[in-house]
Structure 1
Amino acid sequence: MKTTDHILIIDLEATCWNDRPPRGQESEIIEIGVCIMDVKTGKISKNEGILVKPQYSRVSPFCTELTSITQKMLDEEGVFFDDALDILRAEYDSEDLTWASYGNYDLTMLKNQAKRFNLDYPLSDDHINVKTLFGEVHPTIRKSVGMSRALGELNFKLEGTHHRGVDDAKNISKILYWCLQNY
């Protein structure tokens, strides 16, 4: 893993349904929550949620209830996936920084969607799975737990809206910083 003073933290939200996707639709990234954490201080910089217009699906009522993201928001404020990847590269040095996510879902989803859209993968190969790291470092939790439970175990408040990438990226940073201090 690269030695780094800053870690890029990413949390994705994707189209989802209460049951199966409607015919012809598939899960796609609709938000890339991102922030940069200073490894020494835990301070966050450049936090944003990049809204992404889905090309092969629509936001379901279930998805809106879970994430608070609406199809209208994406239609009006979203960018295309390739533009979102360009933002990660240009504004977050995503190909050079070590990056972290809570679990492997984000890693897999980004790789798969980049491949599906025939785009270059936008992140470095240096990835920290914060979910796994937390299970290794926490003195009593020795299994995978969700982000909300991990925050609770550390007596940290879940800030913002759970299942909004912009907020969850900051919450993940708190867990990661604790892990790095206690590793």
Structure 2
Amino acid sequence: SYLIVIDFECTCWREKNNYGQEIIEFPAVLLNTSTGEVESEFHTYVQPQEHPILSGFCTELTGITQMQVEAGIPLQICLSRF
């Protein structure tokens, strides 16, 4: 049997607001639960659409830079590749 492990990173702000969070990093691994081996890996940065400029807090918290998300792909394309 297999397990997919996903660890999204999303947009965020230090202050509370009503902005919806958007995925900015989509990493995943396919783990063979019988052997413990990683069978496959997937990783991409995702371009946020609603708030395309990352907050300084977001970059500080996640380590993801504006340049990385700008070089990323839209979420719809990411999902089709996954």
| CA displacement at 1:7 relative to structure 2 | 1.3
| CA displacement at 1:10 relative to structure 2 | 0.9
Which position in structure 1 is the counterpart of 2:66? 71
| CA displacement at 1:11 relative to structure 2 | 1.2
Root-mean-square deviation (Å): 1.6
| CA displacement at 1:61 relative to structure 2 | 0.8
Using structure 1 for the length normalisation, give the TM-score.
Answer: 0.41
Work out the CA distance in 2 between the residues paired with 1:45 and 1:66.
29
Correspondent of 1:39 among 20, 33, 36: 33
Matches within 5 A, 1:40-55: 40-55=34-49
Which position in structure 2 is the counterpart of 1:12? 8
Unaligned ranges ≥5, structure 1: 89-183
Secondary structure of 2:7's counterpart equals strand
Using structure 2 for the length normalisation, give the TM-score.
Answer: 0.87
Aligned length: 81
Secondary structure of 1:49's counterpart equals strand
AA aligned opposite 1:68: G
Indicate the structure (1 or 2) with the bigger Cα radius of gyration: 1
Q: In the alignment, does 2:66 pair up with 1:56?
A: no
* Structure richer in strand, relative to its length: 2
| CA displacement at 1:41 relative to structure 2 | 1.3
Matches within 5 A, 1:145-160: none
Q: Deviations over 1:78-120 (max 9, x none)?
A: 01010010011xxxxxxxxxxxxxxxxxxxxxxxxxxxxxxxx
Work out the CA distance in 1 between the residues paired with 2:66 and 2:20.
15
